[in-house]
Amino acid sequence: MKEEFKLVQYKRNHRHNGDLSLFSLERAKKVLAFHSSFPTYSETPLVSLKNTAKELGLGSVYIKDESHRFGLNAFKVLGGSFAIGSYLAQKLGRSIENFTYSDFISDRTRQDLGEVTFVTATDGNHGRGVAWTAKTLQQKSVVYMPKGSAMERLENILAEGAKASITEMNYDDAVRFAHEQAEEKGWIMVQDTAWEGYADIPLWIMQGYGTMAYEAYTQLPERPTHIFLQAGVGSLAGAVTAFFAALYKEECPIITIVEPNKADCLFQTAQAKDGKLHYVTGDMDTIMAGLACGEPCSIGWEILKEYGDNFISCPDYVAAQGMRILGNPIKGDASIISGESGAATFGCVAEIMRNPALAQWREKLKLNEDSRVLCFSTEGDTDREGYRSIVWDGTFPRT
């Protein structure tokens, strides 16, 4: 398959059809209260790349660096932990709003709850978050990974005490397998994507991402004009879009969704404009492992179809380039260790601003010296060998 840049633009829907109350500022504050009750919580940095922005012909570039999240090198734990917390609180007949980390680990709670096993399928980051939360809240977890997953990612999950293995299935089939296992064994499925009949836990997961969006909002010195969001199933993109759309209403920044060519299910769904979800099947062998998902999250799409402005499908070298530039920005700017999925959006912005063949895109996306761009570096070097091979050895050059 020839890798290329593809863009679908949606007319901005100023009527604001979606119900965003589940992702409001007030809601996000409550999610943050839950996360900040963990002793290891700290806010992740929002880095302003002033000199790099100027070099690219942009007003400002802000990168939310999620490699510092709970010592787990990725944002994902925010979702799994809030979902597990909400599930356990519900099981106890309590509300998560007044239930914190110390309540969860009390002897009384543990006695009332008994032993719960959480199961999930993951490329790595989500599973590590689920395993970490289960361990931290003194419960059990089982994690299935798609074929081709990096050994380091498996080892990190095993180190959190989960029963974990790399399967022979692609991501979407691994999700189905985890679901079957949950039904058979009475485990609780904590999957970061929704489908018909499975929405409570994915919704909690998406709300969990609200902590990242809320922190970014409080750290930003100015309102962004553009937000770029990378998507696997689109839960993250949907959640962050909903937060900023609820917050800024008519002044919502231009939202652009970025996916790898080999797993661009949201792009294809956006392009078809037929009211149906479109799937990508097969191996989806992109370097952006976290984005290698072929079936959109139904809740995420409901938000993105109303509030997403641009959907981009891009080649793998874009992520590689993003990793290199973020690690080596213009002198005076802080360096950010950003992994393949983490750097996809910034890499895309940099390519649009630098590649003469994409000059028209700058106009279409309204990117210029007045633009204030926000990207989320959603992971650090979660596969260190892969990171070094791309950044040090220069694999995945611009084609």
Residues lying near ligand PLP in the complex (CB under 6 A) are found at 74, 76, 123, 125-126, 192, 230-237, 290-291, 293, 341-342, 378-379
Distance between CA atoms of residues 335 and 333, nearest Å:
6
- 3-state class percentages of the chain: helix first, strand second, coil last, to nearest 5: 50, 15, 40
Query: Residue 322 CB, nearest distance to ligand PLP (Å)?
Result: 12
Which CB atom, from 109 or from 312, has the smaller least distance to ligand PLP? Answer: 312
In the residue annotation, 140 being an active-site residue is answered as no
The least distance separating ligand PLP from the CB of residue 132, rounded to whole angstroms, comes to: 14
Residue tagged active-site, from 30, 76, 262, 305: 76
- DSSP 8-state assignment for residue 313: E
Instruction: State the CB neighbour count (10 A cutoff) for residue 385.
Output: 11
CB 124 within 8 A of CB 145: yes
Element (H, E) at 162: none
Of 175 and 325, which CB lies nearer to ligand PLP in the complex structure? Answer: 175
Residue 101 vs 350, nearer CB to ligand PLP: 350
**Residue among 123, 172, 264, 316 flagged as catalytic:** 123
**CA 327/CA 217 separation, integer angstroms:** 24
CB of 227 to ligand PLP, least distance (A): 14
Nearer CB in complex with ligand PLP: 48/341: 341
31-35 own/partner pairs: CB under 8 Å, 24+ apart: 31/78, 31/82, 31/207, 31/208, 31/210, 31/211, 31/214, 32/210, 32/211, 32/214, 32/215, 33/97, 33/100, 34/81, 34/82, 34/85, 34/96, 34/99, 34/100, 35/78, 35/81, 35/82, 35/208, 35/211
Q: Which residues contact 329 (CB under 8 A, 6 or more apart)?
A: 49, 51, 52, 335, 336
- Cβ(83)–Cβ(204) under 8 Å? yes
Task: Tell the smallest beta-carbon distance from residue 187 to ligand PLP (Å).
Answer: 20
Give the residue from 3, 2, 8 showing the smallest Cα distance to 361: 8
Q: Are 230 and 258 in contact (CB under 8 A)?
A: yes
Report the residue number, 37 or 271, with the smaller CB distance to ligand PLP: 271
Indicate the residue among 202 and 224 with the shorter CB distance to ligand PLP: 202
**Of 302, 300, 312, 304, nearest to 367 (Cα)?**
312
Please enumerate in sequence order all residues whose Cβ is within 8 A of that of 92, keeping only pairs 6 or more positions apart, or say none.
99, 109, 112, 113
Residue 11 appears among annotated catalytic residues: no
DSSP state of 379: B
As annotated, the active-site residues are 76, 123
